[in-house]
Each structure stands twice: as structure tokens, then as C-alpha cells.
A and B are shown apart, each in its own frame.
Chain A
Amino acid sequence: MRVMAQMAMVMNLDKCIGCHTCSVTCKQAWTNRTGTEYIWFNNVETRPGLGYPRTYEDQEKWKGGWELNKRGRLVLKGGGRFKKLFTIFSNPKLPSIGEYYEPWTYDYSTLTDAPAQEHTPVARPKSLISGKDMKIEWSANWDDDLGGSTATAHRDPMLKKIADKVKFEFEQTFMFYLPRICEHCLNPSCAASCPSGAIYKRVEDGIVLVDQDKCRGWRMCVSGCPYKKIYFNHKTGKAEKCTFCFPRIEVGLPTVCSETCVGRLRYIGLMLYDADKVLAAAATEDDHGLYEAQREVFLDPFDPDVMREAEKAGIARDWIEAAQRSPIYALINTYKVALPLHPEYRTMPMVWYIPPLSPVVDVVQETGEDAEDKGNLFAAIDALRIPIEYLAELFTAGDVGPVDAVLKKLAAMRCYMRDINMGRDPNGAIPAAVGMSEEEMYDMYRLLAIAKYDERYVIPAAHAEQAHSLEELATECSVSAYGGGQQDLFGEGSGAPTPIAVENFQMLQERQTADTLASPADKDKRVNLLNWDGKGSPAGLFPPKKTDS
């Protein structure tokens, strides 16, 4: 057993309203530079739909991820090392910019500089790639809310697999949103495809990063990733990818996309896994077995053996505790409602999804039946083959069994909680029908519906002692170390500017957001004149009166 820790995410798709806040805030934080205009580390796709980049899921075309060769061994679908080097001069499987979309801006100055004239001036779209006028024909989200899907959706690679059954008629459609970031896979094919070895997985938290100093622009990783979550910055000539907001994670904060998610549907936490089992699990013969195989790789953080091995492997105590409180572990292993996205790519993805019940609920509602009735919902789940087969193509390589089970759990939760919310006696038969106890069902409801910030995000901060060699810590030769009392002269705010670093982030944040004075102990001796409106004399404006002398 080789225990490793992995930062992971689960998204509850029922709650996604497709507002794209996550994409926008992520873009503002990470990809607002030239060369990254077309890059969305987080994107939200309407499904069914073509996705971004277009039809990225068609691995017969793009050859991303891993596959089993004839002898049952795990190999890169895009070809092994020799083939990669042989085709390095022109990558045969690189999506062109058109496959993502040609980024543009508008020629706003024609609006502001226009003289008085009869016709309103028009700001033309200008390509950010060629600088020329362009016609906008596609974007990262062109088929949002099924817009234009009658023309395009039949090219959805997942729909194609169940295609002959689907007619894209308005009354029969279903749709949901799929927010996507890099999966921070346990067996990342992006890293395996990188000729320079610039893409690495962090030992501490499993975050997959591109070393910008080692990347040489061979652009093989873009093809290697089946989720197309590596992007080529066309100005710097280097690959870039979702960082899982590692500077935030290191100080215990959730990623920007999670923090800003309007639906509060994202969960972040640790998973412990057995690194020795990853390759064998990824090489599971049957595609349908991959979901279970990956669950087998995860370790039970409550198991004393696992805890002992984890500590031996250098995983700190508070990290093990965080793994025990991990909402990810609960959703994946305890309640078994989260499923991996495209396990058949065999990269062992670590951003999992709770499939949406809404396509089912919507149909029941449209028929005028009670959409919170267990009988109705269960019957609909059994009857609505197309949405469910579609979900299965996304989350279980086409195996409808696990998807059925998850949806029934969600449906049962809906019915069970209705009774409670209406003040009726809870019906223990409902959880029992999906193999759960009443208590479990209620806990699952709490986690899915009302979990607070610190229950949704259980992120242990990185250890400062590990980071001791970080540059910011070179403050060891401070002024006071030379005997100068400078830092004490004017209180804690003086002295050399304190760099914001992993180690002091929490302290600085507390100080900035606290509504009390920094040191409550001597509160009565101090006052913040900037906050004083000139009226009265707040405590601390004058030194305390001497009572006896």
C-alpha cells in the first residue's frame, strides 16, 4: 500500500443554473492575458451539445487518453513514445483554433470616436488572432441552452452512441449543464504525453501542473488529454491548464470557481488512495468496470491500517483528519451518488459529478403528476431511457446501472424530505427502497442541500514546515535579528512590508477581515482614527485615566 492524498472535487449537477459565473471568475483570475483569450480553464457546457472544444469527446477522432492494446496493456491512445517523437514536427491530432473558437473583441473606438451622423455607428467584431474583421460563427458556448441544437446537437459524440433513438424535437428534449475543469487525474495522460516531462503531479495533493520553465511547446499534451483541458498559449508558446487554484488551496481556500459558484454545488476535499493500485485499475478490461475499479483505489481514511500507512508516507495528521471529514469521500464512497466523468478514458479523473435528476423531474412535472412522489419518480426513471442512457454515456461508460441507482437515491431523498418538510411522519420505507437508513438519508440531504461553507470545502492548509524553502521565508534575517528594534517601534503594522505567502496568509486575512482591533487585549488603549467620525470620544482615544497616583 502506497498512500497518497489527492485534492478532489464533486459537482452536484442538479443545482447548476448555467450562469457561467464560475467560468468568468476563473477567467478573470487565470486566463485574462494575451494568448489565452480562447482558454477557459472552467467552462460550462449545455448537454446534449458539442462541448468545448467541439466534439472533444470523440476519442476515435482526437485519440486522447489511454486504451488497452491487444495484449490488454495500458497504452496511450494517441500512440507511444516513438510515434509521439516521430510526429512531433506537426502534431496530427491538434484541435485548430476553430475547434475551440476564434476569440474576438469589438472595435469600440468607432463608437466613441464617431462624428455626429445619421446612422448609429457599429462596433465590428475584430479577431484577436488575426486582428482582422471577422464573422462570429462559434464560441466556447455557442449551443448554450440548446440554442441552435437542432442544427448541431446530432454531432454530439455521446448522443451519437444512442442516436437513432433521439429525435431532437422540442417536446422530447432534456438538457442540463456540465461545468468542467481539469480532472487532476490519478493517471494523467497529458503528463504521459509531454515529451519534456514538464507536466507533473504534485506528491502532496495530486494537483497536476505545467512547469512553465520546462515546457518547450511541443503541444503533445493538448492531444493527450481526452478532456481537452490543456490549452496552448499561442503567445508564449507554452501549455497552460487549470491549476486547481493551488495558491488558494495551499492556504485552505477553495478554488475560485467553487468560491463564486452561485448554485453552491461544488465540494472540495481530500481523497486518500493507493498509488500502487492505480495502473491496474486503469487497465480494467471492461469499460463498465472502471467506475468500480476506481472506487476500489480509494482508501478508507477511518481504517487504522490506512491511517498508519498514511502517516508512514508522510501525510500529516491534520490531513488524515481532513480526509475523514472529506465531503468527497462521503459522496463517492459513503452515499455513492457521485460518478466520474468518462471513466472510459482511463485517466482516473478526480472531479466527479452527481448526475442531475432534473430531466426526470421535468418530465413528471410536465405530465401534471406529482413530481415528489416516489412511485412517479421511480417509474419515470425506469421509463425515461434516453436521458438516462445519455447520462450513462457521460458518467459510467454507458452502464445504466449505477446511474439508475444514483437517480433513485436522489428521487428517494426528494420524496423522503418532502414528508419531513410538510410536517408529516417520515416514511422509513423510502430510504430502505434504495438501501439506505433514515439517518443516512437525512445526512445525505444535509450534505447536498444545506451544507455550510466549511462542510462543502474541507481543505487542510499546506504545511509551512514543508514550505520552509519558499522564497518568502527568507525574511529570517529581519531587522530585529540585527538588534534593531525597528519592528517593535510602531506596532505590528510597521517594519519591512510583509510578503503575502502561504505561511502568513491566514494571519493577514484574519487581520484584514476582523472587525475588532488587531489585538483585543489592549483595545482600551487604542483607536482607529480613520473610523472615527469626530463625534464623542470612543474608548481609547485618550490614554486610560490614572486612577491612583
Chain B
Amino acid sequence: MNEFLFIVVPYVCLTTFVVGHVWRYRYDKFGWTTRSSQLYESRLLRIGSPLFHFGMLGVVGGHVIGLLVPQSWTNAVGISEHTYHVVAVAGGLLAGVAALVGMVILIYRRRTVGPVFSATTRMDKVMYAFLAIVITLGMWNTIAGSIMTIGGEYNYREGVSVWYRSFLAFQPDASLMAQAPLGFQLHALFAFGLFALWPFTRLVHVFSAPVGYLTRPYIVYRTRDEQLGSHRPRRGWDRISP
């Protein structure tokens, strides 16, 4: 069972994530967009979206450090267990709360603002469900696990993180995950579920974060030849209801 949950499922999700993005990029560039809803409503978006996104960027950054940097490395540069813990919990809490509050505003806006709600696809709803579960579980793990230490202290850097790196190295060790508290297990599983959904939602916009804007010349010139003529790529599967 553990093998299935912490080896098979994650790999299936990861494969879907990678193959899905390649497929979508090739066949549905036209559907690859944030599908901004600011035209309909901007008062709530102005608060919710930056809160959510800046929070989320912090959360992502935190995960990269927490999951990918082994404990031995931070120890080696002289960061004590305790210092790391305090910084991680404080930063995680800050980013997490921002993301959570932002998300609540965004979901509230999606549901209550008429035009935004009618522009919400089924996939948007599924995505928000997963996103909400993952973020809430993540916050729970931080608060319950690291601050209130409900059910004993758990150092994820000796469990989940090691499993995650073993997973990425294609030598997965499911037992590490099996020993983790339920909150962590669920958080990881739902997160992989979200990854599997990712390429089929608007979340693809994350991969086109426009960092190139900082360096490219302002005005882009292109010749006529580069175009494809009258050929239009087929529409994406995430049809926008008319």
C-alpha cells in the first residue's frame, strides 16, 4: 500500500505533469493564458491576487529550500537546527498566511461576483478545491507539527525531504513517507494530485512567468514569413463555455 501511495501514485502524477505540459504547449498555445478576470472585477482582485501570489512565491521558495537542500548542507555551513527551524517556521507562516488569505479572497470573489462566477470553468473549480486542500494541509502541518507539536515533534527534513529527494533521484524509499504524520502524507498526496491536474488548468501560466521582459528590447519586430499562414492550431481541451 505504501509502495502504491508513495511510489506509484507520485510517479504517475509526475509523468502526467511533464507529458501534459509538453502536450499542452504543443497543441494548445492558444489556451495557455492566465485568463485574467480583472475586466469584470478589480476591487477584490487588487487585494486578493497580490496577497495570494506573493505568498505563493514565498511558499514555493520555501519548499525548494526545505525539500531540496539536505540538512547536512545547512549544518555544514553552520546554521544550527534551531536557527533553521525558527527562520523556516516564521517565513513559512508569513508566506502561508498570505497565500491562504489571498486564496480565500480569490475564492470568495469567484463565487460571489456574478461575471467572475459565470466565467469559471469546471476545471477552475477542481483546481481551487485541490489548491485549497493542499494549502490548508500545509498550514496545518506548519502550525500543528512545528509550533504546537501536536502528536510529537516531527522533523520533516529527516523524513519527507529525504523521501522527496530519493523520489527525484528515481530511488524512492516509501518507508520514510510511511512514518510521517498523516497531515504530511495527505499534503504530499494532494499536492501530487494538483501536479497531475496542473497542465490542464490555468496554472500553466506559472511556467510562462515573463522574466524575459527584463532583458528583451521594448519593441519586437517580426517578419511576415514567420507566420503559419491561415493554419490555426486546434483548440485546447479546456473549452471556454460560450
Which A positions have Cβ atoms within 8 angstroms of B?
Answer: 34-35, 81-82, 84-85, 87-92, 94, 96-97, 127, 129-132, 187-188, 191-192, 194-197, 199-204, 212-219, 232, 234-238, 250, 462, 466-467, 469-472, 499, 501
Closest residue on chain A to residue B231 by CB atoms: A471
List, in ascending order, chain B residues with CB within 8 A of A194's CB. Answer: 213, 220
**Contact indicator per residue, chain B 199-242, by CB within 8 Å of chain A (1) or not (0):** 00010010010111110101111111101111101000000101
B119 within 8 A of partner (CB): yes
List, in ascending order, chain B residues with CB within 8 A of A84's CB. Answer: 213
- Number of B residues whose C-beta is below 8 Å from A? 50
A–B complex contacts, Cβ < 8 Å, 7 sampled: A94-B42, A96-B38, A129-B115, A191-B218, A202-B222, A213-B30, A470-B229
A232 CB, min distance to chain B CBs, angstroms: 5
Q: Is the CB of A197 within 8 A of B220?
A: yes
Partner of A90, one of B45, B119, B213, B222: B45
- Report Cα–Cα, A250/B52, bound state, in Å: 46
B83 within 8 A of partner (CB): no
Q: Is the CB of A216 within 8 A of B32?
A: yes
Q: Is the CB of A467 within 8 A of B225?
A: yes
Q: Is the CB of B223 within 8 A of A202?
A: yes
B85 within 8 A of partner (CB): no
Q: Is the CB of B208 within 8 A of A196?
A: yes
Count: A-B pairs, CB below 8 Å: 149
Known: A94-B38, A219-B38. A472 touches B33 (CB 8 A): no
B46 CB, min distance to chain A CBs, angstroms: 5
Q: Is the CB of B219 within 8 A of A201?
A: yes
Q: Is the CB of A213 within 8 A of B114?
A: no
Partner of A219, one of B36, B40, B114, B208: B36
- Report Cα–Cα, A92/B50, bound state, in Å: 11
Closest residue on chain A to residue B102 by CB atoms: A89
Closest residue on chain A to residue B213 by CB atoms: A195
**Contact indicator per residue, chain B 33-50, by CB within 8 Å of chain A (1) or not (0):** 111111111100110011
16 A-B pairs besides A85-B213, A90-B45, A130-B118 with CB distance below 8 A are A81-B213, A84-B213, A85-B214, A88-B210, A89-B49, A89-B54, A96-B39, A129-B115, A194-B220, A201-B219, A201-B222, A204-B224, A218-B210, A234-B119, A235-B119, A237-B33
Q: Is the CB of A203 within 8 A of B114?
A: no
Partner of B219, one of A34, A191, A212: A191
Q: Is the CB of B210 within 8 A of A471?
A: no
Going nearest first, the 7 A-B pairs with the smallest beta carbon separation are A195-B210, A237-B35, A217-B33, A192-B218, A213-B29, A237-B33, A471-B229
- Report Cα–Cα, A96/B221, bound state, in Å: 30
Q: Is the CB of A197 within 8 A of B38?
A: no
B82 CB, min distance to chain A CBs, angstroms: 34
Partner of B233, one of A130, A131, A196, A213: A213
